[in-house]
Every structure is written in structure tokens, then in C-alpha cells.
Structure 1
Amino acid sequence: MSVSTGPAAPAGPTRRTSAPRKRGDDTRAKIIDETVRCINEEGFAAATAKHVAERAGVTWGVIQYHFGDRNGLLMAVVDDGVARLLTSLSAVDVGGLELAQRIETVVDTAWNCYASPTSLAAFEILRATRGSLGEQSLGHLLQMNSAINRLGRLISEDPADSGVAEVIWAALRGIVLAQMIVGGAFDWQSERRALIDMVCHYLQRG
């Protein structure tokens, strides 16, 4: 005996695809990357929303959609730069390393974070805007200060050595500034070696 199952049930709703979101994320990332290149190649003043749009091959409306205005775009660059810096610093592992190796690892990691194109652009934005982007930019500075403190503890847990990481950062800032003035990277291996040796000598005092 056959049993009728009735008319076929209507098809369910079409499952949403993540493709539109991915395209949006890719476009946003492309605009941020082009802003970074614009600032590093042409300077902060050149990074107008119109010029970035031209470089990225998008319209002003696309930038408005993703960032709101130029300040929103600049803040997105800072967000990205600080996020990458903090992620890199938090991933440092110096467990089991001798003192000199710990210092080398910390110095090289800090340098790679600090001298990356995104970080250079982010710091240039913070310098040029002098806090005018609002509380969020000040919050980033506090985050970076906290990261510096964590970096110092990777070298030494002694509170008396708490200023060591700040000295490292100050030295790297000076080298980065010199590169920005010169307009390109240069060989800083002698300065790197001197910085590592000085920190190592200081921590081995007494």
C-alpha cells in the first residue's frame, strides 16, 4: 500500500555566502595598504581621501562606506599598525634563552615591528595629528606603553631594570627617524650590536 507524501516542501532559503563580506574586507585592506604606501612614499599631507582613492582605484564613496571620512581612514591605519605591533610583541618567546640571546630576540622583534611600513605610517599619523584623532589614538599610546613594559619583563623581571625596554625603544625610534629623514633603510648592524652589548653589560653589572 503506497502512502502519498503530498506536495514537495518548498525549498529552504538560499544559504548566504561570505563572498560579499570577503570582497568588502579585501577592499578595506587594499585601501589601508595604499594609504600606508602613500604616507611612506609621499608624506602625510599627500594622503588625502581623494588621492588615496585614486591610488587604490576606488571612488570617494567607497572610502566613505568603509571609513566615514579621512580621519576614519587615518585611524584605521593606526588601528592596523598598533594591532600588528602588539600581536608581534605578544608572540615573542624567550624561554630558555641565555641573556644575550634574549636581548637579541627582543631587539630584533621590536625593530621588525617598529620599522614595518604600517608601523611607520601609523606613527607618522600620530605625530602629524598630535592627538586630534581623539581618545582612541591616546588609547593606542597607552597600549604601546604597556607592550613596552611587557617587553622589558622578557629581558629581566627585576623592577630595577624596568627602564631597559624604554631605552631600547628610544634607540630604535632614533634609528627609524634617521631612516625617515634619509628616505630609506640603511645598514644599522653596528648600532644593533652596540645596543645589545650595552644592555647585556648593564644587566650583568655587579
Structure 2
Amino acid sequence: MIDDEGSVRRGNRRGTATRENMLRAAVKALATGDPGAVSANKIAREIGATWGAVKYQFGDNDGLWAAVLHYTAERRAEVLAFGDSSMPLRERVAEIIDTLYEGLTSADSRAIESLRAALPRDHAELERLYPRTAAELSSWGRGWLETCQHAFADLAVDPERVREVAALIPGAMRGIASERQLGTYADLDQARRGLTNAIVAYLENSAAT
């Protein structure tokens, strides 16, 4: 005989599995780069679910996209674990650059780029139409800054320069990763070394005040 508590636990497990399957399907669809993939209805059809099932799990499109962003952020956090106190500054910067270089061609990153491309560029419009998604994107910026601050916390570097570097790195690495995807005659290993050297030169000897 199954008690009510056991039934609830099994129900919760089924609900969690369904939610996980939907998020995986959303990432897979978005990672194709097809503009039409940014559709909760299409994602539901691909996994044999109904729009009602998606609404039950996420509420609406905004809830689904916010959940996709959170899902990928959690997986990325496991990789972006910088800040080994035994590593010198140059090795820490190189690790950040190399990790992002590899990660920016992952399915998760391609999915997020597709989603961001379909969302409003204007912050006010984004926050009006997709408030939960906007909040999740905003939290990404704070989380990335905290990652960089943690990476250099025990070194004598200017906190304001760390903030500037944190703002610079994502865009710079997207440019280098884009060159790799498009094909280029440039030496991208050299580009990464150059970026690493520039950041190290900017951060080192900038005594924290």
C-alpha cells in the first residue's frame, strides 16, 4: 500500500524529470541556431508535450526562458571555479581565458546566444515583456563579476580594475570564439595569449587601495 507522502514524493520526482527533459529539449533546440527554435510551443512538440504541460512547469514563455538561463548557469558554475590560491596571476587569467574559449562553442552557449538574439535589446522593453528572463540575465552579470572577484581576491590588485576586466573578458572572448567558428587566417592561440598578457599587465602591480 502506498501512503500519501510516498505518492507525493514520486509525483515530485516525475515532475522534476519532466522539467529536466523540457529544459534539455529547449537547449538542444536553441543550440541549432534556428530562429524558429525560440518557441515554447515548438519545444513542447519536439518532446511530445502540450503547451499546457509547459505552462504547468514554467508558467509562460518568460518562465521557460528564465529557467533555461538558470539551468545553463548552474551547469556553467561547475566549470567556472577559479581562484586557486597557489596559482600566480598569469595562470589564473590564462585559465579564465582558456575555459571561456572552450565553453563558448558548447551547446549551452549556442543556445543562450540564440535566445539572446531573439529577445528585445532595450532593457526597459525586455523587463516589461520578459521580467523573469531579464532578472536572470541581470543575475548573470553579478555572478560573473563575483567569479572574477573571487579569482583574484587574495592578490594585490585594484578592485576597480578587476571590475573593468570582468566587463571586458566576455565580449572579447565571444569575438575570438566567433572567429574560430567563422574560420580565420588569424592565429587564435596568439590572440588568446595577447589578451592574457594585456590583462595581466593591467592587473599586476595595481596595488589594492
> Which range, TM-score by smaller chain?
0.7 to 0.9
Alignment partner, residue 143 of structure 1: 139
Give the structure-2-normalised TM-score.
0.72
Alignment partner, residue 124 of structure 1: 114
Structure 1 pair 61/46, CA: closer, same or farther in 2 (3 Å)?
same
Alignment partner, residue 174 of structure 1: 175
Q: 1:158 is aligned with what amino acid? A: D
Structure 1 pair 47/143, CA: closer, same or farther in 2 (3 Å)?
closer
Alignment partner, residue 20 of structure 1: 11
Structure 1 pair 188/62, CA: closer, same or farther in 2 (3 Å)?
farther
Alignment partner, residue 123 of structure 2: none
Q: Is the 8 A contact 1:100 1:196 kept in 2?
A: yes
CA offsets, 1:119-177, max 9 Å, x none?
A: 43234323321225433333233322223323433245313523122222221122344
CA offsets, 1:168-195, max 9 Å, x none?
A: 2221122344567x49xxx943332222
Which structure 2 residue ranges, 5 or more long, are not aligned?
A: 121-125
CA offsets, 1:19-45, max 9 Å, x none?
A: 332222122111111111111214232
Q: Distance in 1 between matches of 2:167 and 2:10?
A: 44
- Percentage of identical aligned residues: 26
Give the drift of 1:117.
2.1
Q: Per chain length, whose mean CA-contact separation is higher, i.e. which structure has more relative contact order (CA < 8 Å, sep 6+)?
A: 2
Alignment partner, residue 108 of structure 1: 98
Alignment partner, residue 86 of structure 2: 96
Q: Is the 8 A contact 1:94 1:105 kept in 2?
A: no
Q: Distance in 2 between matches of 1:159 and 1:70?
A: 38
Structure 1 pair 152/78, CA: closer, same or farther in 2 (3 Å)?
closer
Give the structure-1-normalised TM-score.
0.73
- Bigger-Rg structure (1/2): 1
Alignment partner, residue 200 of structure 1: 200
Which structure 1 residue ranges, 5 or more long, are not aligned?
A: 1-10
Q: How many residues of Structure 1 are paired with residues of Structure 2 in the alignment?
A: 191
Q: Distance in 1 between matches of 2:4 and 2:45?
A: 37
